[in-house]
Chains A and B, each alone.
Chain A
Amino acid sequence: MDAPVAQLAYPKCVRLESKPHLFCPGCGHPEVLKAFGFAVDDLGIQRRVAFGVDIGCSLLAYDFFNIDTIETHHGRTVPVMCGVKRGNPDAVAVAYVGDGGAYAIGMGGLLNAAIRDEKIFTIVVHNGVYAMTGGQEAPTTLPGTITATTPYGADNHFIKGPDLVRHVNPTAWVARGITTRQLALRDLVKEGLQHVIDGKGFAFLEVLSPCTLNWGTVEHPDKTFEILEGKLAKTFKLGYF
C-alpha cells in the first residue's frame, strides 16, 4: 500500500507491509484493531506494549502492528499476559481475545485474572459465534440463534462478560463498546490502556463486533448494522460498568 496515503488512514504503529489485513470483508476485528492502534499512538506506548492474541480470528492480528506480539493458545492469552506483566512490570500487557476464547475455554483464566486484579488490559471481541472454526455456538449466542452447532436454535442462556467482571472486581475498569462507533471506541481503548499504565489494576473492554461471514451478511452491510445496533447493542448495554 502507498505509504503516504496509508498513513492518513492507519495508525502509525500499524504494519503497512501486512495490509490488506487477513480478516474477512466486513469483519469487525480491523475496526477494533484500528481503534487500538490509534490509542497506542496517542499514548506514545508502541515500544512498551506486549500484545497477546488468542487462537481464533484474533490470531490473524499477529502481524497487524509493529508492536511486540505473541500469538498464544486458545483461551490462554489472559494467563500468558498476566505472566508477561508479572515478568516485566514496565510492559503494557494487552490480551486480545474473542468471545469463545474469553468466555468459554478461557473463562477460568479471565475471571481469576479479574479476581486477582492483574494489571493487564483485556479486550474481548464479541460477535456471538465461534467464527474461525465455522460459526458454532458461543457463550454469547442469543436464544434461538441458528448456528453450526445449534441447528434448531440456541438455548435460552448467554453470558454478559462485563457484568461478570464487575461482579468479581469492584475496582476494575470495565466497559463495553461497539465497532460502529469508532471514535468512542478509540476513547474507550485509551482509557483502558491508561488504567493499566497507571498501575490501577485490571481493565476490561468488550466490543460488539460483526462477523459478516457467519451472520450471512457479507453483501448486506445494512443488515450487519441492524444486527449490531438493533439487536446486540440493545441486549448488551454499551458504556461503563
Chain B
Amino acid sequence: MTAEPSFFVSAPMAEKQFMMGNEVLARAARAAGATAMYGYPITPGSEILLWWAKESGSEQGKKDDMVFVQAEDEIGASFMLLGSTLAGRRSFTVTAGPGNILMQDAFSMAEAMRTPTVAFINMRGGPSTSTVIYSQSEVWLTAYGGNGNGYRIVYSTATLQELYDYGIKVFNIAWRYRFPTFLLSDGYQAKMMGEVELYDPQGKGIEMVPTERYLLEEKRDRPINEVVPKPEVHIRVQDGVEYSCYRNCLNLEEETLQVNMEIKEAWDKMAPEIEESETYGNAEAKVLVIAHGIVSQSAKAAIDATSGKARLFRPITINPFPRKALIEAARGAETIIVAESAINQLARIVRDALYDIQGPKMVEHFRPSIGIYPEEIVELIKNA
C-alpha cells in the first residue's frame, strides 16, 4: 500500500463498498465508537494504523477527539491501550505474531483487572518472525497467552463482512463483560479486498454498550469492586469524594486465589451468554469437518462439493469455546476432520471439549502457515 491510498476518505455508511480487510477493521472500530488506537507497525496489520493516523487528523477526527499513537513497540502500545481503557476511552490495538507475543504482558494485566481492552489479531506465520503472510497459529497465544488462566474472549472471523460485524461487536462485548476481547483474523482476511456492507450499528438497532472510567470516575452505574476482583481495588472516601486504588501486585496466595476465583465466577456466568458457533450442511452427514476462521470457508466449499456427505462445525468464539454446541454437532458423526493452518491448536481444543465423548475417529489436517484449499478437504471427506 502507498502512503496515500485513494480509499483513505470518509465513506458514506450503510452501503456496499469494495475494500481491503484492514480498512474494514479500521472502519469497524470507528463505527463501534472507538476514539483511540495505539499500535506498532507490523504486517499484516499496519494499514489499520495508517487509516487511523489519517482519520484522527482529519477535520471530523479532530471533532470526534480521536487519538492515534504509534508506540515505541508493542509493549508500549498495549500498555497505553490499557491506560486509555482505564481512563474510560473506547480504545483498541492491532497486532500479529511477534507483536502478539509482546502484548501478552499487558493482556495479562487486563485479564487480572478485568479491563475491556480490544485487540485485532491478524495472524501471520510462526514461530517467531517467520512470514508476514498467514497462519492460524496464534489461537493458543491469543486465547490462553500470559501467566493467567485464559480468561479472554476470542472471536474468530471468516469473511470480510464478519471483520466489520465482529469488529463492532468486540467493543460492546468487552465493555459489557469487562474482559480483554480479541478479534482473531489472519493475513489473508486482512489483505484481501472484497465487497463489504458498512453500516451504522445504532441504525441497525445494535445496542452500544457505554464505556466507564476506572480512574477519576465521579459516578458509576456499577460499583467498580463488583467488576475488578476485590483484592485488587481499594475504594476510599474523603470529603465525600470516592478514590479508587488498584493493585497489580498481591501479597498472599489467598488473595491471588480470590482474584482468580472471582474472575472465573464472572467468566462462567458470562460464557453461556456469548458462546457462538455455526453449523453448515446436511445435519445427518456422518463426516463432521471442524474448522475456524477462513479455513471454514474452504470447508463450506468442500461440503458443497461432496453432496451431503459431510457437514461443518465452526466455532466462532474460540474462547469461551462452544463445547455444548460441539458435543451436539458431534452426535452421529463417525469421522471428525479437523482442518487448520496450524499444528494441533484447534484440534487440541476440540479434543479437550470432546474428552468424554466416545466414538468418532479424528482425522487431522494440519497445514501450518499455509492456506487450505477446498480440494484438500474434499479429498479427506472422500477418504473418511
Q: Which residues of A contact B (CB under 8 A)?
A: 13, 15, 17, 46-48, 50, 52, 55, 59, 62-63, 65-73, 76, 79-88, 90-91, 93, 108-109, 111-112, 116
Report the Cα distance A164→B38, complex, angstroms.
25
Q: Output the nearest chain B residue to A47 by Cβ-Cβ distance.
A: B241
Contact among B72, B216, B247 for A68, CB-based, below 8 A: B216
* A86 touching B80 in the complex, CB below 8 Å, given contacts A15-B236, A71-B246, A112-B71: yes
Contact among B77, B79, B89, B247 for A87, CB-based, below 8 A: B89
Contact B106 A70 (CB under 8 A): no
Residues of A within 8 A of B84 (CB): 83-84, 86-87
Q: Output the nearest chain A residue to B113 by Cβ-Cβ distance.
A: A70
* A79 touching B67 in the complex, CB below 8 Å, given contacts A70-B86, A87-B88: no
B260 to chain A, nearest CB (A): 17
Contact A73 B216 (CB under 8 A): no
Which 9 pairs, one residue from A and one from B, show the smallest C-beta to C-beta distance?
A83-B83, A87-B87, A112-B72, A87-B84, A83-B80, A87-B89, A79-B79, A88-B87, A83-B84
In residues 145-167 of chain B, which contact A (Cβ within 8 Å)? none
Contact A72 B215 (CB under 8 A): no
Report the Cα distance A34→B127, complex, angstroms.
49
Residues of B within 8 A of A65 (CB): 243
**B248 contacts chain A at the CB level, 8 A cutoff:** yes
Contact A70 B234 (CB under 8 A): no
In residues 53-93 of chain B, which contact A (Cβ within 8 Å)? 67, 69, 71-73, 75-77, 79-89, 91
Contact B215 A70 (CB under 8 A): yes
Q: Output the nearest chain A residue to B72 by Cβ-Cβ distance.
A: A112
* A59 touching B105 in the complex, CB below 8 Å, given contacts A68-B215, A76-B79, A112-B76: no
Known: A71-B247, A87-B67. 9 other contacts (CB 8 A): A55-B249, A62-B246, A66-B241, A73-B109, A73-B248, A83-B79, A84-B83, A88-B87, A91-B87
**B11 contacts chain A at the CB level, 8 A cutoff:** no
Residues of A within 8 A of B248 (CB): 55, 59, 70-73
How many residue pairs, one in A and one in B, have C-beta atoms under 8 Å apart?
Answer: 141
Main secondary structure of the interface of A (DSSP, over half): mixed
Contact B85 A83 (CB under 8 A): yes
Report the Cα distance A116→B70, complex, angstroms.
10
Report the Cα distance A81→B246, complex, angstroms.
14
Contact A86 B67 (CB under 8 A): yes
**B48 contacts chain A at the CB level, 8 A cutoff:** no
A55 to chain B, nearest CB (A): 6
Contact B244 A68 (CB under 8 A): yes
Residues of A within 8 A of B215 (CB): 50, 68, 70, 84, 88, 91
Contact B247 A88 (CB under 8 A): no
Contact A79 B249 (CB under 8 A): no
